[in-house]
């Protein structure tokens, strides 16, 4: 059984999102910016509420040891 040539295997290797972000690709940075903007919006929404209404934080234990919101 012949092995695949190294050059062909390298050409087929896919580049993940982490690599794209590291390379400074515009896709990665746009996602990061959007995620940041959504987080700040969520924080502002929560800060608009009085403290006694910011109570939706409890996770529920599941029988197999995990948890869920």
> Which residues in this chain contact another protein in the complex, by CB under 8 A?
39-40, 42-44, 46-47, 49, 51-61, 67, 69
33: DSSP letter:
H
50: DSSP letter:
-
Least spacing, CB of residue 23 vs another protein, in Å: 23
- Give 2 or 67: the residue with its C-beta nearer to another protein: 67
53: DSSP letter:
G
60: DSSP letter:
E
- Give 9 or 54: the residue with its C-beta nearer to another protein: 54
Distance CA 49, CA 35 (A): 22
- Give 11 or 68: the residue with its C-beta nearer to another protein: 68
């Amino acid at each position: 059984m012949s092995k695949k040539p190294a050059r062909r295997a390298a050409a087929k290797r896919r580049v993940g999102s982490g690599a794209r972000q590291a390379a400074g690709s515009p896709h990665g940075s746009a996602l990061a910016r959007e995620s940041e903007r959504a987080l700040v919006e969520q924080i502002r929404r929560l800060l608009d509420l009085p403290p006694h209404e910011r109570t939706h934080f409890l996770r529920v234990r599941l029988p197999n040891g995990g948890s869920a919101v």
